[in-house]
Structure 1
Amino acid sequence: MNNQKYKRIFISTAGTIAVWEIISRFGIVDDFFISSPGKVWSEGMGLVSSGVLWPHLLISLETLFAGIFLAILVGVSLGILIGSSETVRDYLHPHVSILNSLPKVAVIPLIIIWFGVGLPSKISIVFLMALVPILMNTIDGAKNTDKNLLKMARSFDAGRIFTVWSVTFFSSLPFVFSGLRIASGRAVVGLIIAEIFGYGKGLGYLVSFYGINFQTAKLLFIVIILIFINVFLLKIVKISEKNLITWR
Protein backbone atom coordinates (compact mmCIF):
# COMPACT_ATOMS: atom_id res chain seq x y z
CA MET A 1 0.00 0.00 0.00
CA ASN A 2 2.80 2.39 0.94
CA ASN A 3 4.70 1.51 -2.24
CA GLN A 4 1.64 2.40 -4.31
CA LYS A 5 1.26 5.68 -2.44
CA TYR A 6 4.89 6.70 -3.01
CA LYS A 7 4.66 5.60 -6.63
CA ARG A 8 1.67 7.90 -7.20
CA ILE A 9 3.46 10.79 -5.45
CA PHE A 10 6.53 10.23 -7.65
CA ILE A 11 4.49 10.09 -10.87
CA SER A 12 2.53 13.22 -9.90
CA THR A 13 5.70 15.16 -9.01
CA ALA A 14 7.57 14.02 -12.12
CA GLY A 15 4.58 14.95 -14.28
CA THR A 16 4.38 18.43 -12.75
CA ILE A 17 8.10 19.03 -13.33
CA ALA A 18 7.81 17.77 -16.92
CA VAL A 19 4.89 20.12 -17.69
CA TRP A 20 6.80 22.96 -16.02
CA GLU A 21 9.87 22.22 -18.17
CA ILE A 22 7.81 22.09 -21.39
CA ILE A 23 6.06 25.38 -20.58
CA SER A 24 9.39 27.10 -19.95
CA ARG A 25 11.43 25.54 -22.74
CA PHE A 26 8.93 26.18 -25.53
CA GLY A 27 8.22 29.74 -24.42
CA ILE A 28 4.57 29.15 -23.54
CA VAL A 29 5.27 31.28 -20.48
CA ASP A 30 8.13 33.78 -20.58
CA ASP A 31 11.21 32.81 -18.55
CA PHE A 32 10.91 36.18 -16.80
CA PHE A 33 7.74 34.96 -15.07
CA ILE A 34 8.64 31.32 -14.39
CA SER A 35 12.14 29.92 -14.88
CA SER A 36 12.62 26.33 -16.03
CA PRO A 37 13.27 23.58 -13.46
CA GLY A 38 16.81 23.20 -14.82
CA LYS A 39 17.58 26.87 -14.29
CA VAL A 40 16.01 26.87 -10.84
CA TRP A 41 18.17 23.89 -9.87
CA SER A 42 21.31 25.47 -11.33
CA GLU A 43 20.77 28.82 -9.59
CA GLY A 44 19.82 27.04 -6.36
CA MET A 45 22.97 24.93 -6.36
CA GLY A 46 24.91 28.14 -6.89
CA LEU A 47 23.38 29.55 -3.69
CA VAL A 48 24.23 26.34 -1.83
CA SER A 49 27.83 26.00 -3.06
CA SER A 50 28.64 29.69 -2.57
CA GLY A 51 27.46 29.55 1.05
CA VAL A 52 24.90 32.33 0.54
CA LEU A 53 21.96 30.14 1.51
CA TRP A 54 23.13 28.64 4.81
CA PRO A 55 23.13 31.67 7.17
CA HIS A 56 19.65 32.65 5.97
CA LEU A 57 18.34 29.08 6.29
CA LEU A 58 19.74 28.64 9.80
CA ILE A 59 18.33 31.92 11.14
CA SER A 60 14.93 31.10 9.64
CA LEU A 61 14.86 27.62 11.19
CA GLU A 62 15.96 29.03 14.55
CA THR A 63 13.18 31.61 14.43
CA LEU A 64 10.57 29.14 13.23
CA PHE A 65 11.20 26.46 15.85
CA ALA A 66 11.53 29.01 18.68
CA GLY A 67 8.19 30.60 17.74
CA ILE A 68 6.41 27.25 17.38
CA PHE A 69 7.84 25.96 20.67
CA LEU A 70 6.59 29.04 22.53
CA ALA A 71 3.20 28.77 20.81
CA ILE A 72 2.86 25.11 21.89
CA LEU A 73 3.95 25.91 25.45
CA VAL A 74 1.58 28.86 25.88
CA GLY A 75 -1.26 27.57 23.69
CA VAL A 76 -1.54 24.13 25.29
CA SER A 77 -1.10 25.40 28.87
CA LEU A 78 -3.58 28.24 28.48
CA GLY A 79 -5.96 26.09 26.43
CA ILE A 80 -6.10 23.38 29.10
CA LEU A 81 -6.63 26.01 31.81
CA ILE A 82 -9.45 27.75 29.93
CA GLY A 83 -11.10 24.59 28.64
CA SER A 84 -11.12 22.73 31.95
CA SER A 85 -12.46 25.56 34.10
CA GLU A 86 -15.78 27.23 33.40
CA THR A 87 -14.87 30.12 35.70
CA VAL A 88 -11.60 30.86 33.88
CA ARG A 89 -13.42 30.45 30.55
CA ASP A 90 -15.99 33.09 31.53
CA TYR A 91 -13.23 35.55 32.41
CA LEU A 92 -10.98 34.93 29.39
CA HIS A 93 -13.49 34.08 26.65
CA PRO A 94 -13.78 37.71 25.40
CA HIS A 95 -9.99 38.01 25.18
CA VAL A 96 -9.65 34.70 23.33
CA SER A 97 -12.38 35.77 20.88
CA ILE A 98 -10.59 39.05 20.22
CA LEU A 99 -7.29 37.19 19.68
CA ASN A 100 -8.97 34.79 17.27
CA SER A 101 -10.58 37.66 15.32
CA LEU A 102 -7.44 39.79 15.27
CA PRO A 103 -6.01 40.38 11.78
CA LYS A 104 -2.50 39.14 12.58
CA VAL A 105 -0.76 40.79 9.61
CA ALA A 106 -2.15 44.18 10.65
CA VAL A 107 -0.41 44.08 14.04
CA ILE A 108 3.00 43.05 12.68
CA PRO A 109 4.16 46.69 12.31
CA LEU A 110 3.16 47.23 15.94
CA ILE A 111 5.22 44.21 17.03
CA ILE A 112 8.21 45.60 15.14
CA ILE A 113 7.73 48.96 16.89
CA TRP A 114 7.70 47.18 20.26
CA PHE A 115 10.61 44.78 19.70
CA GLY A 116 12.57 46.35 16.83
CA VAL A 117 13.57 44.53 13.64
CA GLY A 118 15.73 41.87 15.30
CA LEU A 119 15.20 38.26 16.27
CA PRO A 120 12.72 38.91 19.14
CA SER A 121 10.19 40.53 16.80
CA LYS A 122 10.51 37.69 14.29
CA ILE A 123 9.95 35.06 16.96
CA SER A 124 6.99 37.06 18.31
CA ILE A 125 5.35 37.17 14.88
CA VAL A 126 5.80 33.41 14.32
CA PHE A 127 4.50 32.81 17.86
CA LEU A 128 1.40 34.94 17.23
CA MET A 129 0.61 33.23 13.92
CA ALA A 130 0.98 29.73 15.40
CA LEU A 131 -0.64 30.41 18.78
CA VAL A 132 -4.30 30.83 17.85
CA PRO A 133 -5.02 27.45 16.18
CA ILE A 134 -3.19 25.61 18.98
CA LEU A 135 -5.01 27.57 21.68
CA MET A 136 -8.48 27.27 20.13
CA ASN A 137 -8.17 23.54 19.44
CA THR A 138 -6.80 22.82 22.91
CA ILE A 139 -9.72 24.68 24.50
CA ASP A 140 -12.16 22.60 22.44
CA GLY A 141 -10.35 19.41 23.46
CA ALA A 142 -10.39 20.27 27.17
CA LYS A 143 -14.07 21.25 27.02
CA ASN A 144 -14.96 17.95 25.35
CA THR A 145 -13.17 15.72 27.87
CA ASP A 146 -15.32 12.70 28.70
CA LYS A 147 -17.25 13.57 31.88
CA ASN A 148 -17.27 9.91 32.93
CA LEU A 149 -13.47 9.88 32.97
CA LEU A 150 -13.44 13.00 35.14
CA LYS A 151 -15.98 11.44 37.55
CA MET A 152 -13.91 8.27 37.71
CA ALA A 153 -10.76 10.26 38.57
CA ARG A 154 -12.64 12.11 41.33
CA SER A 155 -14.04 8.85 42.70
CA PHE A 156 -10.45 7.76 43.32
CA ASP A 157 -9.82 11.05 45.18
CA ALA A 158 -7.49 12.29 42.43
CA GLY A 159 -6.34 15.87 42.97
CA ARG A 160 -7.17 18.69 40.59
CA ILE A 161 -3.68 18.89 39.06
CA PHE A 162 -3.46 15.11 38.63
CA THR A 163 -6.90 15.00 36.98
CA VAL A 164 -6.02 17.81 34.57
CA TRP A 165 -2.75 16.11 33.63
CA SER A 166 -3.86 12.47 33.46
CA VAL A 167 -7.35 12.96 32.01
CA THR A 168 -7.91 16.40 30.45
CA PHE A 169 -4.47 16.80 28.87
CA PHE A 170 -4.37 13.37 27.24
CA SER A 171 -8.01 13.63 26.11
CA SER A 172 -7.14 16.93 24.45
CA LEU A 173 -4.11 15.62 22.52
CA PRO A 174 -6.02 14.79 19.28
CA PHE A 175 -7.33 18.36 19.25
CA VAL A 176 -3.86 19.75 20.01
CA PHE A 177 -2.37 17.93 17.02
CA SER A 178 -5.18 19.18 14.77
CA GLY A 179 -4.22 22.68 15.85
CA LEU A 180 -0.53 21.96 15.24
CA ARG A 181 -1.21 20.94 11.64
CA ILE A 182 -2.82 24.32 11.01
CA ALA A 183 -0.22 26.18 13.09
CA SER A 184 2.76 24.79 11.16
CA GLY A 185 1.60 26.36 7.90
CA ARG A 186 0.69 29.65 9.56
CA ALA A 187 4.06 29.75 11.32
CA VAL A 188 5.90 29.50 7.99
CA VAL A 189 3.72 32.31 6.59
CA GLY A 190 4.48 34.39 9.69
CA LEU A 191 8.20 33.74 9.25
CA ILE A 192 8.16 34.95 5.65
CA ILE A 193 6.16 38.07 6.49
CA ALA A 194 8.41 38.89 9.46
CA GLU A 195 11.57 38.63 7.39
CA ILE A 196 10.11 40.57 4.48
CA PHE A 197 9.23 43.41 6.85
CA GLY A 198 12.82 44.56 7.13
CA TYR A 199 15.03 42.06 8.91
CA GLY A 200 18.10 41.61 6.70
CA LYS A 201 18.47 37.86 7.15
CA GLY A 202 16.39 34.77 6.55
CA LEU A 203 14.56 33.00 3.74
CA GLY A 204 11.79 35.61 3.79
CA TYR A 205 14.39 38.32 3.21
CA LEU A 206 15.74 36.35 0.22
CA VAL A 207 12.20 36.01 -1.16
CA SER A 208 11.83 39.79 -0.97
CA PHE A 209 15.31 40.50 -2.35
CA TYR A 210 15.11 38.15 -5.33
CA GLY A 211 11.55 39.26 -6.06
CA ILE A 212 12.47 42.95 -6.12
CA ASN A 213 15.47 42.20 -8.36
CA PHE A 214 13.41 39.95 -10.71
CA GLN A 215 15.65 36.91 -10.10
CA THR A 216 12.89 34.41 -10.69
CA ALA A 217 14.95 31.22 -10.60
CA LYS A 218 16.49 32.00 -7.22
CA LEU A 219 13.13 33.14 -5.89
CA LEU A 220 11.48 29.86 -6.92
CA PHE A 221 14.30 27.87 -5.32
CA ILE A 222 13.72 29.62 -1.97
CA VAL A 223 9.97 29.04 -2.29
CA ILE A 224 10.61 25.32 -2.86
CA ILE A 225 12.78 25.22 0.28
CA LEU A 226 9.95 26.85 2.27
CA ILE A 227 7.52 24.23 0.93
CA PHE A 228 9.86 21.44 2.05
CA ILE A 229 10.18 23.04 5.50
CA ASN A 230 6.39 23.07 5.84
CA VAL A 231 6.14 19.44 4.67
CA PHE A 232 8.87 18.53 7.19
CA LEU A 233 6.94 20.22 10.01
CA LEU A 234 3.76 18.35 9.08
CA LYS A 235 5.73 15.09 9.05
CA ILE A 236 7.04 15.80 12.56
CA VAL A 237 3.48 16.47 13.74
CA LYS A 238 2.23 13.25 12.14
CA ILE A 239 5.00 11.11 13.66
CA SER A 240 4.57 12.72 17.09
CA GLU A 241 0.81 12.18 16.96
CA LYS A 242 1.24 8.52 16.02
CA ASN A 243 3.70 7.91 18.88
CA LEU A 244 1.85 9.87 21.58
CA ILE A 245 -1.78 8.98 20.79
CA THR A 246 -1.36 5.22 20.89
CA TRP A 247 -4.98 4.48 21.86
CA ARG A 248 -6.41 5.63 18.51
Structure 2
Amino acid sequence: MSHSTEHNRHESDASQGTSTSSKRDHAHLSSREQSHPPEHHYPAPKQGGGALKGFLAGMVFMVVLGLVGAGWFFLRRPAQEATVTAPDSSAAPEAVEADPVTADPVTADPSEATDTPQSTLSTDAASNQAAAGNLPPAQTLDMQINHPNGSTARLTSISFTESSIVADLTVTNGFDRAITLNRSDGMVIIDSAGNQYNLAAPPSNETIQVDPGTTLEGQFVFMGRLAPGVSSLSVITNNRFGGNQDFSTNPKLVFQVEL
Protein backbone atom coordinates (compact mmCIF):
# COMPACT_ATOMS: atom_id res chain seq x y z
CA MET A 1 0.00 0.00 0.00
CA SER A 2 2.87 2.37 0.66
CA HIS A 3 4.27 1.40 -2.68
CA SER A 4 1.05 2.32 -4.35
CA THR A 5 1.02 5.61 -2.58
CA GLU A 6 4.51 6.44 -3.78
CA HIS A 7 3.62 5.45 -7.25
CA ASN A 8 0.65 7.76 -7.23
CA ARG A 9 2.81 10.50 -5.83
CA HIS A 10 5.29 10.00 -8.53
CA GLU A 11 2.62 10.17 -11.20
CA SER A 12 1.18 13.19 -9.53
CA ASP A 13 4.58 14.87 -9.57
CA ALA A 14 5.07 13.81 -13.16
CA SER A 15 1.72 15.19 -14.16
CA GLN A 16 2.44 18.33 -12.28
CA GLY A 17 5.79 18.56 -13.98
CA THR A 18 4.19 17.94 -17.27
CA SER A 19 1.55 20.48 -16.51
CA THR A 20 4.17 22.91 -15.37
CA SER A 21 6.22 22.23 -18.50
CA SER A 22 3.11 22.68 -20.64
CA LYS A 23 2.37 25.96 -18.96
CA ARG A 24 5.92 27.06 -19.52
CA ASP A 25 5.74 26.11 -23.17
CA HIS A 26 2.40 27.82 -23.51
CA ALA A 27 3.76 30.90 -21.82
CA HIS A 28 6.78 30.83 -24.07
CA LEU A 29 4.58 30.50 -27.17
CA SER A 30 2.36 33.28 -25.93
CA SER A 31 5.34 35.53 -25.44
CA ARG A 32 6.58 34.65 -28.91
CA GLU A 33 3.21 35.34 -30.40
CA GLN A 34 3.05 38.66 -28.62
CA SER A 35 6.53 39.65 -29.81
CA HIS A 36 5.66 38.67 -33.37
CA PRO A 37 2.14 39.83 -34.12
CA PRO A 38 0.35 37.81 -36.74
CA GLU A 39 0.52 38.99 -40.38
CA HIS A 40 -2.75 40.17 -41.85
CA HIS A 41 -3.16 39.19 -45.53
CA TYR A 42 -5.61 41.77 -47.05
CA PRO A 43 -7.16 40.95 -50.38
CA ALA A 44 -5.11 42.45 -53.33
CA PRO A 45 -6.91 45.17 -55.32
CA LYS A 46 -8.24 44.22 -58.72
CA GLN A 47 -5.80 44.98 -61.54
CA GLY A 48 -8.11 47.06 -63.80
CA GLY A 49 -5.32 49.34 -65.33
CA GLY A 50 -4.41 46.87 -68.07
CA ALA A 51 -7.49 47.65 -70.18
CA LEU A 52 -6.94 51.44 -69.83
CA LYS A 53 -3.33 51.11 -70.85
CA GLY A 54 -4.35 49.09 -73.87
CA PHE A 55 -6.94 51.71 -74.86
CA LEU A 56 -4.42 54.54 -74.52
CA ALA A 57 -1.84 52.61 -76.51
CA GLY A 58 -4.42 52.09 -79.27
CA MET A 59 -5.28 55.80 -79.33
CA VAL A 60 -1.61 56.76 -79.55
CA PHE A 61 -1.16 54.28 -82.39
CA MET A 62 -4.15 55.74 -84.26
CA VAL A 63 -2.84 59.30 -83.82
CA VAL A 64 0.60 58.33 -85.07
CA LEU A 65 -0.94 56.48 -88.00
CA GLY A 66 -3.11 59.53 -88.82
CA LEU A 67 -0.10 61.87 -88.73
CA VAL A 68 1.87 59.56 -90.97
CA GLY A 69 -1.06 59.35 -93.41
CA ALA A 70 -1.55 63.13 -93.41
CA GLY A 71 2.14 63.71 -94.03
CA TRP A 72 2.10 61.28 -96.91
CA PHE A 73 -0.99 63.01 -98.35
CA PHE A 74 0.53 66.50 -98.25
CA LEU A 75 3.82 65.25 -99.61
CA ARG A 76 1.98 63.50 -102.39
CA ARG A 77 -0.34 66.43 -103.24
CA PRO A 78 2.26 69.00 -104.48
CA ALA A 79 3.69 66.41 -106.82
CA GLN A 80 0.21 65.76 -108.23
CA GLU A 81 -0.52 69.49 -108.58
CA ALA A 82 2.80 70.04 -110.30
CA THR A 83 1.95 67.24 -112.66
CA VAL A 84 -1.49 68.67 -113.41
CA THR A 85 -0.51 72.34 -113.78
CA ALA A 86 2.78 71.89 -115.59
CA PRO A 87 2.49 73.99 -118.81
CA ASP A 88 2.51 72.10 -122.04
CA SER A 89 4.67 73.80 -124.64
CA SER A 90 2.36 72.63 -127.40
CA ALA A 91 -0.66 74.18 -125.67
CA ALA A 92 0.85 77.51 -124.56
CA PRO A 93 -1.98 79.69 -125.98
CA GLU A 94 -4.60 77.73 -124.01
CA ALA A 95 -2.55 77.91 -120.80
CA VAL A 96 -2.40 81.74 -120.88
CA GLU A 97 -5.83 82.44 -122.30
CA ALA A 98 -7.67 84.93 -120.05
CA ASP A 99 -11.18 84.29 -118.79
CA PRO A 100 -13.36 86.95 -120.48
CA VAL A 101 -15.70 87.04 -117.47
CA THR A 102 -13.15 87.58 -114.70
CA ALA A 103 -10.39 89.36 -116.60
CA ASP A 104 -9.87 93.03 -115.83
CA PRO A 105 -11.22 94.98 -118.80
CA VAL A 106 -8.42 97.51 -118.47
CA THR A 107 -5.56 95.02 -118.60
CA ALA A 108 -7.19 92.24 -120.61
CA ASP A 109 -6.84 94.21 -123.84
CA PRO A 110 -3.50 96.11 -123.89
CA SER A 111 -4.52 97.91 -127.10
CA GLU A 112 -7.18 99.89 -125.19
CA ALA A 113 -4.53 101.71 -123.17
CA THR A 114 -2.45 102.65 -126.23
CA ASP A 115 -5.01 103.21 -129.00
CA THR A 116 -5.81 106.81 -128.12
CA PRO A 117 -2.20 108.08 -127.72
CA GLN A 118 -1.12 106.29 -130.89
CA SER A 119 -4.09 107.70 -132.78
CA THR A 120 -3.34 111.22 -131.53
CA LEU A 121 0.32 110.96 -132.44
CA SER A 122 -0.55 109.57 -135.84
CA THR A 123 -3.04 112.39 -136.41
CA ASP A 124 -0.50 115.04 -135.37
CA ALA A 125 2.14 113.48 -137.57
CA ALA A 126 -0.30 113.34 -140.46
CA SER A 127 -1.22 117.00 -139.92
CA ASN A 128 2.43 118.02 -139.89
CA GLN A 129 3.10 116.02 -143.01
CA ALA A 130 0.05 117.50 -144.70
CA ALA A 131 1.08 121.01 -143.68
CA ALA A 132 4.63 120.47 -144.92
CA GLY A 133 3.31 118.88 -148.08
CA ASN A 134 1.15 121.92 -148.85
CA LEU A 135 4.20 124.19 -148.77
CA PRO A 136 6.65 123.88 -151.63
CA PRO A 137 10.32 123.45 -150.77
CA ALA A 138 12.68 126.39 -150.82
CA GLN A 139 13.91 127.14 -154.31
CA THR A 140 17.29 128.44 -155.38
CA LEU A 141 16.87 130.77 -158.35
CA ASP A 142 19.00 132.79 -160.74
CA MET A 143 16.56 135.22 -162.30
CA GLN A 144 17.49 138.72 -163.46
CA ILE A 145 15.50 141.63 -164.93
CA ASN A 146 16.96 144.74 -166.63
CA HIS A 147 14.76 147.82 -166.62
CA PRO A 148 14.89 150.49 -169.40
CA ASN A 149 16.01 153.18 -166.92
CA GLY A 150 19.24 151.26 -166.33
CA SER A 151 18.27 149.50 -163.10
CA THR A 152 18.74 145.75 -162.61
CA ALA A 153 17.12 143.30 -160.21
CA ARG A 154 18.14 139.77 -159.37
CA LEU A 155 16.05 137.09 -157.51
CA THR A 156 18.30 134.36 -156.04
CA SER A 157 15.96 132.31 -153.82
CA ILE A 158 12.45 132.02 -152.42
CA SER A 159 11.24 130.05 -149.38
CA PHE A 160 7.98 129.46 -147.54
CA THR A 161 7.02 129.39 -143.87
CA GLU A 162 3.75 128.99 -141.99
CA SER A 163 3.29 132.76 -141.89
CA SER A 164 5.28 134.29 -144.72
CA ILE A 165 7.05 134.06 -148.05
CA VAL A 166 10.69 135.19 -148.12
CA ALA A 167 12.43 136.41 -151.30
CA ASP A 168 16.18 137.07 -151.59
CA LEU A 169 16.43 140.08 -153.90
CA THR A 170 19.30 142.32 -155.08
CA VAL A 171 18.55 145.65 -156.81
CA THR A 172 21.16 147.96 -158.37
CA ASN A 173 20.13 151.49 -159.36
CA GLY A 174 21.88 152.45 -162.61
CA PHE A 175 19.68 155.53 -163.11
CA ASP A 176 20.82 159.06 -162.28
CA ARG A 177 18.02 159.56 -159.79
CA ALA A 178 16.77 157.60 -156.81
CA ILE A 179 14.23 154.90 -157.47
CA THR A 180 11.58 153.30 -155.22
CA LEU A 181 10.28 149.73 -155.26
CA ASN A 182 7.30 149.99 -152.87
CA ARG A 183 5.49 153.15 -153.86
CA SER A 184 1.90 153.13 -152.50
CA ASP A 185 2.58 149.69 -151.00
CA GLY A 186 2.97 148.27 -154.46
CA MET A 187 5.68 145.66 -153.76
CA VAL A 188 3.70 142.40 -153.54
CA ILE A 189 3.52 138.73 -154.43
CA ILE A 190 0.51 137.42 -156.34
CA ASP A 191 -0.02 133.65 -156.77
CA SER A 192 -1.68 131.80 -159.63
CA ALA A 193 -5.00 131.79 -157.75
CA GLY A 194 -5.00 135.62 -157.51
CA ASN A 195 -4.07 135.80 -153.80
CA GLN A 196 -1.92 138.79 -152.86
CA TYR A 197 0.82 138.86 -150.19
CA ASN A 198 1.94 142.35 -149.08
CA LEU A 199 5.48 143.34 -148.17
CA ALA A 200 6.36 143.80 -144.49
CA ALA A 201 8.29 147.01 -145.13
CA PRO A 202 10.97 148.14 -142.65
CA PRO A 203 10.01 151.33 -140.77
CA SER A 204 13.29 152.99 -141.71
CA ASN A 205 12.70 152.58 -145.44
CA GLU A 206 9.04 151.91 -146.09
CA THR A 207 9.14 152.82 -149.81
CA ILE A 208 12.31 150.74 -150.37
CA GLN A 209 14.31 153.59 -151.87
CA VAL A 210 17.57 152.87 -153.74
CA ASP A 211 19.93 155.79 -154.31
CA PRO A 212 21.69 156.28 -157.66
CA GLY A 213 24.70 154.09 -158.21
CA THR A 214 23.96 151.91 -155.13
CA THR A 215 22.91 148.31 -154.63
CA LEU A 216 20.24 147.13 -152.18
CA GLU A 217 20.45 143.51 -151.15
CA GLY A 218 18.32 141.68 -148.59
CA GLN A 219 15.52 139.30 -147.69
CA PHE A 220 12.10 140.72 -148.44
CA VAL A 221 9.34 139.24 -146.29
CA PHE A 222 5.80 139.03 -147.67
CA MET A 223 3.13 138.37 -145.08
CA GLY A 224 0.92 135.30 -145.22
CA ARG A 225 1.15 131.57 -145.77
CA LEU A 226 1.16 130.42 -149.39
CA ALA A 227 -2.27 129.14 -150.37
CA PRO A 228 -2.43 125.41 -151.13
CA GLY A 229 -2.73 124.22 -154.68
CA VAL A 230 -1.13 127.18 -156.43
CA SER A 231 1.22 126.43 -159.30
CA SER A 232 3.12 129.71 -159.66
CA LEU A 233 3.60 133.17 -158.19
CA SER A 234 4.84 136.58 -159.25
CA VAL A 235 7.16 138.88 -157.31
CA ILE A 236 6.27 142.45 -158.36
CA THR A 237 7.61 145.92 -157.57
CA ASN A 238 5.36 149.01 -157.87
CA ASN A 239 2.40 146.88 -158.88
CA ARG A 240 -0.07 149.80 -158.84
CA PHE A 241 1.93 152.79 -160.24
CA GLY A 242 5.02 151.28 -161.80
CA GLY A 243 6.35 152.20 -165.22
CA ASN A 244 8.53 150.76 -167.95
CA GLN A 245 9.91 154.02 -169.34
CA ASP A 246 13.57 154.85 -169.35
CA PHE A 247 12.90 157.90 -167.17
CA SER A 248 10.70 156.06 -164.61
CA THR A 249 11.70 156.41 -160.97
CA ASN A 250 9.16 153.73 -160.00
CA PRO A 251 10.28 150.79 -162.13
CA LYS A 252 7.87 147.88 -162.39
CA LEU A 253 9.76 144.62 -162.13
CA VAL A 254 7.97 141.25 -162.38
CA PHE A 255 9.58 137.87 -161.54
CA GLN A 256 7.48 134.90 -162.62
CA VAL A 257 8.28 131.81 -160.48
CA GLU A 258 6.96 128.34 -161.27
CA LEU A 259 6.38 126.05 -158.27
Structure with greater strand percent: 2
Larger relative CO (CA 8 A, sep 6+): 1 or 2? 1
Larger radius of gyration: 2
**Where is the helix percentage greater, Structure 1 or Structure 2?**
1
Using structure 1 for the length normalisation, give the TM-score. Answer: 0.22
TM-score (norm 2): 0.22
